[in-house]
Amino acid sequence: MERGSDKHSARMDDALEAEVSGLIRSGHDSRADWNSPEPSGEDQPDVDLVPNGTLAGGVPDGMTEADVERRSELAQYLGRVWPATSEQVLFVAVENDAPEDILTTLRHLPPGQSFANLQELWATISGGHVEAHRF
């Protein structure tokens, strides 16, 4: 059986997965080790990846912060379905328990339209609001 990676053994992969499982499930460090970051002090602001709720510097031209978050949420429920038709995209979203607002958006796609990737789908949903360059 080929695993696609020979960097670690299956046992080591399982051990590494168990080591980070708390972080993955909870979204924050669940260990009290020496390398865990200290929490913010009482008089200090909370540590956040996006302070003040802004993605300044990370928002592509032509998109808003809400667009980026919405596209990211959409991608979370679609995975690697590409290329796909509008019906296939809706089916995958339903199978992945997407929220009703995403399902409603996907139900309004033109029937039979094909999408090569998430970017094409987002261009259709958002009315053409996409980033000009990706890296």
pTM (two decimals): 0.54
- In tens, the pLDDT along 106-126 reads 999 989 899 998 888 988 888
Nearest CA-CA partner of 100 in 130, 127, 79, 73 = 73
User: Does residue 12 lie within any of the structural domains?
Assistant: yes
Work out the pLDDT band at 21, boundaries 50, 70, 90.
confident
Q: How far apart are CA 25 and CA 20, in angstroms?
A: 9
Work out the pLDDT band at 135, boundaries 50, 70, 90.
very low
Cα of 80 vs its chain's centroid, Å: 12
Looking at the structure, do residues 21 and 60 belong to the same domain, yes or no?
no
Looking at the structure, do residues 75 and 118 belong to the same domain, yes or no?
yes
Nearest CA-CA partner of 123 in 103, 109, 102, 104 = 109
- In tens, the pLDDT along 32-86 reads 665 666 667 778 766 655 555 555 556 666 777 777 888 888 888 888 888 999 9
Looking at the structure, do residues 87 and 30 belong to the same domain, yes or no?
no
User: Does residue 134 lie within any of the structural domains?
Assistant: no
Identify the domain containing residue 85 by its residue range.
Answer: 55-126
Structure tokens at 98: 């997407």
104 versus 51: the higher-pLDDT residue is 104
User: Does residue 41 lie within any of the structural domains?
Assistant: no
User: Does residue 1 lie within any of the structural domains?
Assistant: no
pLDDT at 118: 87
Tell me: pLDDT of 129 over 60. no
Indicate the number of domains in the chain. 2
Looking at the structure, do residues 59 and 20 belong to the same domain, yes or no?
no
pLDDT at 100: 92
